[in-house]
């Protein structure tokens, strides 16, 4: 029988707030699970035992005083190493930043603390958070707890592997090109990329990001239950004036028609049989839950947004970005950036401006489509999780990966929310839900219809 480490965040918070269990007990169980499981997967690269015990004690003390410790009271969580956390190194998987120390919390970390979360440690990411794989020369490689021959995903591979293995109920991740959704898919759990502007985030210790990153990157949660994603989103979406892009949008919107579009192969992308089977099973479950699901051969553009996403992102390379990649000298990320630059050369000023201008037109097209179909069911990836390290096998292998990840890369340019939902027990049996901006509530409701039961933690010691 699964112990406390297998509880959902909802169950943990309810039991702690109800005084059925002390937050300190939950923290000790979580730390024990981390000590047992993490050596096999290297997901948490900076354990924070003392800090976790202090946070749990603070939750218990607040309850003893009759105060509300927050909606995540005593819930064990992890935080990705590419966001500032006071007193910790914001390494982003880089030797160049190994000695970097943050003096204050990123807004998303501050929001988790205020909500009563207990941070167990910081999770791994590939160098520069650039790959759909999770290894670097500073922290080493993270292994998939369900199958170490496969990637745990990236860039939030540490967050996904930790959460899948029961090291925390919620993992914090970031997503500019699938870095929450694909690791969730790869590790057999759920992950939410919120709408752009939903979750306040900013690294005080680092220079301001280029505009491409500013308008596409988000922070979001990974969890073993869809309900836990809802709880985590509510905590993460707290206001913070340090993020000028944060939007005070309600977490629940007005009723919308329960009408979904199923698109198995957007823009003709190749889709493996296991992926198509998961999509059709998810559609069946939605219909059983009262949704009208219509199969569509075509959606608004995704290939063009994917190209423009890369163009806006890679604009930083001639502005000192490639120089830093070369100074780091990490072979895999250096190869990935070179492959990306070959497929989509960094833009000149006119191309950059054209990309930002075209973005508005593409968002408009999607907004109008989502008026007809408030929910879109599509692949998370065209392929089952890749063999680990596949992106280091040359340009042809990388081009195949990029094609399979079309639905990951196209979404961030549009600012739309995306939910990766695990449908079956096997890896590859996952789907992606997309909806209107700031309607994560719709995605989560549909996700619960597809996957109503929590996922049991994987045991990497038995793999």
pLDDT tens-digit map of 414-432: 999 999 999 999 999 999 9
Please tell me the distance from the alpha carbon of residue 444 to that of residue 435, in angstroms, as a whole number: 10
65: Cα separation from own chain's centroid: 36
In whole angstroms, give the CA distance from residue 394 to residue 151.
17
Instruction: List helix spans (H) across 268-422.
Output: 273-288, 303-314, 321-328, 331-343, 349-372, 395-404, 406-414
Give the tens place of pLDDT for each residue, 47-103. 999 999 999 999 999 999 999 999 999 999 999 999 999 999 999 999 999 999 999
In this prediction, residue 268 carries a pLDDT of: 97
* Helices 23-41 and 49-64, axial angle in degrees (round to 10): 160
Are the beta carbons of 81 and 46 closer than 8 angstroms? Answer: yes
Task: Categorize the per-residue pLDDT at 462 as very low, low, confident or very high, splitting at 50, 70 and 90.
Answer: confident
Q: pLDDT value at position 31?
A: 98
Chain centroid to CA 211: 21
List of residues 6+ apart from 295 with CB closer than 8 A:
261, 262, 263, 264, 283
pLDDT in tens, 329-371: 999 999 999 999 999 999 999 999 999 999 999 999 999 999 9
Contact 451, 425 (CB under 8 A): no
| Average of per-residue pLDDT across 376-391 | 98
Range 332-351 burial, b when 16+ CB lie within 10 A, else e: bbbbbbebbeeebebbeeee
Among 348, 411, 450, which Cα is nearest to 181's? 411
Return all residues near 141 (Cβ < 8 A) that are at least 6 apart. 42, 134, 135, 388
Percent of the chain with pLDDT over 90: 99
Q: Please give the CATH number for the structural domain made up of 4-462.
A: 3.90.1300.10
Is the separation of the CB atoms in 151 and 105 below 8 Å?
no
State the pLDDT at residue 438. 98
In the predicted model, what is the mean pLDDT of residues 256-265? 98
In the numeric block, which tokens belong to residue 257?
């028609």
* CA pair distance 314, 309, nearest whole angstrom: 9
> If you search the block for the tokens 């993992």, which residue do you land on?
171
CA distance 90 to 94: 9
Measured distance CA(316)–CA(341) in Å, rounded: 11
Cis peptide before 242 (omega within 30 of 0): no
- Residue 463: pLDDT band with limits 50, 70, 90: confident
Indicate whether 2 pLDDT > 80: no
| Average pLDDT score, the chain | 97
292 forms beta bridges with: 259
Q: Say which range, 1-5, 170-174, 350-354, has the weakest mean pLDDT.
A: 1-5
Q: How many CB atoms lie within 10 A of CB 259?
A: 13
Q: What's the distance, Cα to Cα, between the start and end of the chain in Å?
A: 18
pLDDT at 1 over 60: no
Distance CA 251, CA 111 (A): 15
Work out the pLDDT band at 287, boundaries 50, 70, 90.
very high
Amino acid 461: pLDDT: 82
Q: Which residues are annotated as catalytic?
A: 80, 155, 179
Helix H or strand E encompassing 107: helix 107-114
Q: How far apart are CA 147 and CA 354, in angstroms?
A: 43
């Amino acid at each position: 029988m699964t112990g406390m480490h297998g509880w959902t965040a909802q169950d943990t918070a309810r039991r702690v707030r109800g005084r059925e269990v002390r937050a300190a007990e939950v923290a000790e169980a979580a730390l024990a699970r981390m000590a047992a499981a993490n050596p096999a997967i290297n997901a948490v690269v900076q354990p924070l035992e003392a800090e976790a015990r202090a946070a749990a004690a603070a939750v218990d003390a607040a309850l003893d005083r009759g105060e509300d410790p927050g909606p995540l009271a005593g819930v064990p969580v992890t935080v990705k190493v590419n966001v500032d956390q006071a007193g910790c190194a914001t390494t982003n998987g880089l030797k160049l930043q190994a000695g970097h120390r943050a003096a204050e919390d990123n807004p998303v970390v501050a929001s988790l603390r205020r909500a009563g979360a207990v941070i167990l440690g910081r999770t791994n990411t590939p160098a520069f958070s650039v790959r759909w794989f999770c290894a670097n020369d500073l922290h080493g490689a993270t292994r998939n707890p369900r199958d170490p021959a496969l990637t745990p995903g990236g860039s939030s591979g540490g967050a996904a592997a930790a959460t899948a293995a029961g090291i925390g109920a919620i993992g914090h991740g970031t997503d500019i090109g699938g870095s929450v959704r694909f690791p969730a898919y790869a590790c057999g759990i759920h992950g939410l990329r919120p709408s752009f502007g939903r979750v306040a985030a900013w690294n005080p210790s680092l220079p301001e990001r280029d505009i491409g990153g500013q308008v596409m990157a988000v922070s979001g949660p990974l969890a073993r239950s869809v309900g836990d994603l809802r709880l985590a989103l509510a905590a993460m979406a707290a206001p913070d004036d340090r993020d000028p892009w944060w939007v005070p949008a309600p977490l629940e919107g007005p009723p919308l028609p329960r009408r979904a579009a199923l698109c198995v192969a957007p823009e003709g992308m190749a889709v493996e049989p296991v992926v198509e089977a998961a999509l059709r099973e998810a559609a069946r479950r939605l219909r059983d839950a009262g949704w009208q699901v219509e199969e569509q051969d075509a959606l608004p553009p995704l290939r063009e947004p994917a190209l423009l996403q890369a163009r806006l992102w890679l604009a930083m390379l001639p502005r000192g970005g490639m120089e830093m990649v070369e100074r780091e000298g990490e072979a895999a990320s250096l190869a990935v950036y070179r492959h990306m630059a070959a497929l989509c050369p960094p833009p000149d000023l006119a191309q950059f401006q054209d990309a930002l201008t075209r973005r508005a037109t593409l968002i408009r097209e999607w907004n109008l489509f989502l008026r007809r179909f408030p929910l879109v069911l599509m692949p998370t990836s065209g392929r089952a999780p890749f063999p680990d390290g596949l992106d280091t096998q040359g340009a042809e292998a990388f081009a195949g990966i990029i094609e399979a990840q079309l639905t990951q890369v196209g979404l961030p340019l549009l600012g739309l929310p995306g939910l990766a939902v695990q449908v079956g027990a096997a890896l590859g049996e996952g789907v992606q839900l997309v909806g209107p901006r700031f309607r994560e509530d719709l995605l989560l409701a549909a996700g619960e219809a597809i996957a109503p039961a929590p996922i049991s933690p994987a045991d990497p010691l038995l793999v």
